[in-house]
Each structure stands twice: as structure tokens, then as C-alpha cells.
Chains A and B, each alone.
Chain A
């Protein structure tokens, strides 16, 4: 079984709809991250969480919110989706104890906002 899972894997929605992307991990890691990837722009950090009570904004948090329901679960919400939020979204985890902070990525969610 995959260590970091994301649901759904693909989603097509309409402008103005509320969307939730979910991430679960079985690695036992404390730290979780949400990124979006757009062609030619690499990975950009949306939000990150270092434990259940810790939520931090990343580079591009406007239009997004997150919830850390448990150590293993971190959800990303788009309250009112807009077309420029069409992208590939990745969840990642890392171990607090990892000195070099390797991040492990989920398989991604491809979101299309029409």
C-alpha cells in the first residue's frame, strides 16, 4: 500500500464550487505539506503543518484553506474554485527527526476548474 495517498486522483469541477482534496499518510510523519504544480513553474507551497495544532501559510495560500484532522490526515479546500486553480496538487510528508528533511510525495490530484 502507498505510504501517502490522495483522493480524488482527478476532479473536474465548475467555477464557484467548493472542493476538498484529501491526503492521508501511514508513514507516521509529523510534517505535512500541500503544493500545486503548474507547467513551467515547478512546485509551489500552499500550506504546511508541523503537527496537528500547527498550520502555516506557504507562498500561495490565497483562495485555499486547510485542516489537519489528525497526524495522518491533511485536507486542502478551495472554498470557491476559479479556473486559475486548475493544476496538479501534491501532498507531501516529512519526518521531524529527519536531519535533511526528505519529503515524500503522494501521487497527486489533477484538478480542472471550468
Chain B
């Protein structure tokens, strides 16, 4: 079992819809969780982080964390074609290391 798992997709949603990206992790002791966005051929950039159970909202993005279920998700409301990218989930391990999932490719169709 991989430490951090994501569905590689592609996840295709129409413009204006809600995109839901999911991530599960195996280490129950994990404390902090991150969502990075990576456009094709570019480097990853942080869009959200969360460390408490529940929801965290930032503009059109909402991160959701459920530590009991070892599950973290990212919701993108009013999806735009510019949101089309690969979304990487990462979990912070001891000593500051991040373990990344394989990424989910999102396609937002006009």
C-alpha cells in the first residue's frame, strides 16, 4: 500500500461545476496535509494546507480533512478551464519530509 494514494484520473468536469479531488494516507500519525497544483511542464505550487479536522476554505478552494478515516480532499468550486492541472496531495512526515501522492489530473471543459 502506498503511503499517499490518489486516483490518477483524469477527472473531467464541466466549467462552473465542483471538482472533488480525493487523497488517502496510511500513517495515522500524520499531522499536516498539503495540496499542490502542477501545470503541465511546470513546477508544483502550494494552494492549500490543512492540519485540523474539518474544512478550510480559501476562495474557490476548500480542503477537507478527516483524520479518523485518513482522508483528505480538495474541492474546487466554479471550476474554470485554468484549473486544468495535476493536483498533488502531500503528507508531512517526521523531520519535515513530504510524501506525495501520484497526483490527479483535472480537466475542466468549457
Contact = CB atoms under 8 A, between A and B. Distances in A.
A107 B44 CA distance: 9
B71 to A, nearest CB: 18
B51 interface: yes
Contacts of A48: 97
A102 B97 contact: no
Interface in A36-83: 40-45, 48, 50, 56, 58
B90 to A, nearest CB: 8
A50 B51 contact: no
B102 A41 contact: yes
A90 B100 contact: no
Give the secondary structure class of A's interface.
Answer: strand
Contacts of B99: 45
A43 B88 contact: yes
Nearest to A103: B98
- Chain A interface category by residue count: 20 to 34
A40 B4 CA distance: 13
A105 B44 contact: yes
B43 A50 contact: no
B68 interface: no
B96 A50 contact: yes
Contacts of B98: 45, 101, 103
Contacts of A45: 97-99
B88 A101 contact: no
B24 to A, nearest CB: 14
B8 A102 contact: no
B18 to A, nearest CB: 24
B63 to A, nearest CB: 12
A42 B43 contact: no
Contacts of A100: 32, 34, 49, 51, 92
Nearest to B88: A42
Contact of B8 (A40, A50, A94, A107): A40
Interface of A: 31, 35, 40-45, 48, 50, 56, 58, 90, 94, 100-103, 105-108
Which 3 A-B pairs rank lowest in CB-CB distance, beginning with the nearest?
A105-B43, A42-B102, A43-B100
